[in-house]
Chain A
Amino acid sequence: MSKAQRFLAFKIASWLPLAWVLMDVAFEQLGPNPIQALHIRLGDWSLRFLCLTLAITPLQSLTAWRGLSDYRRLFGLFSFVYASLHLLVYLSIDHGFVWQTIAIDIIESPYIWFGVLAYAIVLALAVTTPIWAKKKMGKNWKKLHRLIYVAIIAAVWHYFWQLKGNIAEPMLYLLIAVILLGFRVLLVEKNRKVGKLMIPRGRKKPVADPLEIEGDV
């Protein structure tokens, strides 16, 4: 399989969760509360793709694999796709676009605020995905895209704050998020130490931003 073929295969595979849930809708396999089930399934997949997106950098550091940034972009975009569908189901299928009910629901439901925050970030990252946007934004692009760390924490929070006390599943995602973010903390530490070693004796100025060294975050 060539590189391009492999990438295409992943692209197609990323649509499969959608095909699967649509099949379940068509064959009425979503149980007694199908609207909620559909809504949650899409949200789950958005969170999973977000985890995948954040897993690429550690994967590159820990293995000999290189050049996976296309995959990071792909998974990031699919996190956006599933989050958008999750939101669309909420607005349309569940609430029938009755804006008053929607507004009250959002205002009165703190767990939704975290969902809104996560979505706003993922949306901003998706919009600034094209190469020209990246070039135009310069250094700000990287700063903006670091908000993905906030997005994953907000998304996990959004998940577990709607539950009554059965937090096993969101805890699994929290664990994954902590591992993925913890890896970056270690990386920053390592770079800081390396950076110090690289400064000749007598001079004290450290590297301005340790993350700049790594390039990919």
Chain B
Amino acid sequence: MLIKTEKDIPASEITDPQVFANRRTLLKSLLAMAAVGGGLGRPASANAENLPELSPTPPAIAHNYTNYYEFSYRKSEATELAQALRTDPWQLEIGGEVEKGGKFYLEDILKQQALSERIYRFRCVEAWSMVIPWLGFPLAALIKQARPLSSAKFVKFISVYQPESMPNQANNAILAWPYVEGLRLDEAMHPLTLLAVGMYGETLAKQNGAPLRLVVPWKYGFKSIKAIVKIDLLSHAPLTSWHRFAPNDYGFYANVNPNVPHPRWSQHSERLLGSGFFTPRRKTELFNGYGEQVAGLYNNMDLRHFF
């Protein structure tokens, strides 16, 4: 006869929390280092010089105004519901046209990457913008480690599929889940393109894309995919979620461009969140103000056609 103690203690309860705690501590210390580093001598992110007037949006706004359709169409509700997302442990798979693909724990990836702070403008296709101090590392560093094959031309990003915590995934609402985004390889390798794990000196809040998200500051916000679980290098362009949903409304490139209106609304100006009443909207800049760094990626391309 099997004699049981009153409480059965599963192995996971003994070992895992320790491991989890270590992971969190590691991430926090990395972020702290990055934040201090950023405070002392801001990393050589080119935009810091070109856009000296960038002062971060109050964090309360960035924490409570985010589109996360997996949870809800309402931004405030999405923030609440997103707290149910399980982010620990987190694995990222890298695959496709690479020599060294595989599945990696986020903390193992972070041990190899130098985190830095980048203050970027963030422009949503809904014609509002924020200024966010991100903490992260260049996507290029990760892709280089995976050693892309010469056949690799595009990068596909896939968000987490967690229908038990994401109501709109469970309901198959609007988009085909999980969320998919993509970049051309040269866009992905651009030094401004960031994989972020934190903002405002702290780990990413769940509603803001924890634990790992993309940040492409010269593109509309929907390109900056949240909660990434998979990165595939491809020889062809991936079918991205919003483009699949409404190809005439949302292009693959989705570069911020005041001269190319969305079919139903203008992109000429934007509301900088945190600015007061009677403050006029700011005029949207081509490539969200990062033209000097990225315009070269689109030489000889008709930006009206490739919107």
Contact = CB atoms under 8 A, between A and B. Distances in A.
Interface of A: 31-36, 92-96, 98, 101, 104-105, 107-112, 161-162, 164-166, 168
Interface stretch (B90-98, B267-275, B295-303): B267-275
Contact of A104 (B61, B128, B263, B268): B268
Given A94-B281, A95-B280, A104-B266, 18 more contacts: A32-B60, A32-B64, A32-B65, A33-B128, A33-B271, A34-B277, A36-B271, A93-B277, A94-B271, A98-B280, A104-B269, A105-B266, A107-B266, A108-B267, A110-B264, A162-B265, A165-B245, A165-B246
A35 B266 CA distance: 18
B76 interface: yes
Contact of B283 (A34, A101, A168): A101
B248 to A, nearest CB: 13
Nearest to A36: B271
A109 B266 contact: yes
Contacts of A166: 69, 73, 174
A110 B264 CA distance: 5
A110 B268 contact: no
A91 to B, nearest CB: 11
B269 A101 contact: yes
A47 to B, nearest CB: 18
A101 B277 contact: no
A35 B271 contact: yes
B65 A95 contact: no
Interface string B165-200: 000000000100000000000000000000000000
A105 B279 CA distance: 16
B7 to A, nearest CB: 45
B103 to A, nearest CB: 33
Interface of B: 60-61, 64-65, 69, 73, 75-76, 125-126, 128, 174, 245-246, 249, 261, 263-269, 271, 273, 277-281, 283
A92 B278 contact: yes
Contacts of A92: 278
Contacts of B126: 164
Nearest to B173: A166
Contacts of B249: 164
Nearest to B65: A32
A96 B279 contact: yes
B176 to A, nearest CB: 12
Given A32-B65, A96-B279, A101-B283, A108 B261 contact: yes
A109 B261 contact: yes
B22 to A, nearest CB: 35
A101 B281 contact: yes
Contact of A33 (B65, B266, B278): B65
Nearest to B73: A166
Nearest to B242: A164
Nearest to A97: B280
15 contacts: A31-B75, A32-B75, A33-B128, A34-B277, A101-B268, A104-B268, A104-B269, A105-B269, A108-B267, A108-B268, A109-B261, A111-B264, A162-B264, A164-B126, A168-B73
A73 B61 CA distance: 41
Nearest to A34: B277
A163 to B, nearest CB: 8
Most buried by A among B126, B249, B280: B280
Contacts of A33: 65, 128, 271, 273
Contacts of B277: 34-35, 93
Most buried by B among A105, A110, A164: A164
A107 B174 CA distance: 29
